[in-house]
Amino acid sequence: MDVSQPKTVVVTGASRGIGRAIAMTLADEGWLVRGLARGDGDFDGLGAHPRVTCARVDVAAEKQVRDFFASLKAEGVQVDALVNNAALQGGEPIGAQSLADWQRFFSVNVTGAWLMAKHALPLMPAGAAIVNVGSVASVAGFAERAAYCASKHALVGLTKALAAELAPAGVRVNILCLGSFDTPGLRELARSRGAALADYAKRQLCGRLGDPDEASAACSFLLSERNTFMNGALMAVDGGLLVKGAHG
């Protein structure tokens, strides 16, 4: 990208893990990054980057999303790209899961991405791009993760529908389907299930966990001008997890 004319990208779930890696990679490449997160953390130093501005926004709260984009409009900011990374992870047996828990997964993982796209679009020019961050759970099923899998499958449908709808306006929409990466979220999930990170590494053909920078590199490509012929596509960066699952 021509750093003399920096473009603006909005990244949700940017305070840690994959989202933070995406925000840092894009900022290092010359993007002006607006990093969003819901929690009370410190963005793990992300805001110290000279091309990153951090803000507290709950993607499932429409007023917060609408107000955020209204503030960008007031600043005269054009949104050249959107990365919908914010998501809830985890799960439990369906008999133990409450309706409220089920709905929360969809509220963040699907409705959040829909709200961000809806309110970003008036600020997006032709040539803009959206990347939804999905998972191998967007195309496969995993025991005791019904809400997570169903919401990530729904994100694929949203991606394809938006790609078809926004193509005439010159906006591309793709989905990045990730395997197991060494992130705080995976470590928390492993602890909750009494598992070791090595157990997740063994599930992938590569025999290791992914590095968040490997996910951010793929996201960077999907947003870049090197990639103008992918639209409504799924890109799997999963260490071969899906292939290994299919072949035992």
CATH assignment of the domain containing 119: 3.40.50.720
Kindly report the number of other CB atoms within 10 A of residue 85's CB atom: 30
What is the rounded CA–CA span in Å between residue 78 and residue 124?
6
Catalytic residue chosen out of the listed positions 148, 149, 179, 215: 148
Does pLDDT of 110 surpass 60? yes
Q: What is the CA radius of gyration of the chain?
A: 17
DSSP classification of residue 229: S
Quick one: tokens of 9?
């990208």
Tell me the mean pLDDT in the region 159-185: 96
Report the b/e string of 10-47 with b at 16+ CB within 10 A: bbbbbbbbbbbbbbbbbbebebbbbbbbbeeeebeebb
Mean pLDDT over residues 89-110, rounded?
96
| Reported confidence tier of residue 223, pLDDT bands at 50, 70, 90 | very high
> Are the beta carbons of 18 and 216 closer than 8 angstroms?
yes
The answer as to whether 53 is a domain residue is yes
The average confidence (pLDDT) of the chain is 94
Residue 65 belongs to a domain: yes
Count the domains in the chain: 1
Q: What pLDDT, on the 0 to 100 scale, is given for residue 205?
A: 92
- Per mean pLDDT, which range of 1-15, 24-38, 61-75, 214-228 is the poorest? 1-15
Report yes or no on 49 lying in a domain. Answer: yes
Residue 3 lies in a domain: no
Tell me the residue range of the domain where 146 lies.
Answer: 8-246
**Looking at the domain assignment, is residue 1 inside a domain?**
no
- Reply yes or no on whether 200 is catalytic: no
User: Is the predicted pLDDT of residue 232 greater than 70, yes or no?
Assistant: yes
CA pair distance 156, 135, nearest whole angstrom: 10
Band (pLDDT 50/70/90 cuts) for residue 246 is low
pLDDT tens across 183-215, in order?
988 888 888 888 899 988 998 899 999 999 999
Q: Examine residue 190 and state whether it is found in any structural domain, yes or no.
A: yes
| pLDDT tens, position by position, 28-64 | 999 999 999 997 667 888 989 999 999 999 999 999 9
pLDDT of residue 51: 97
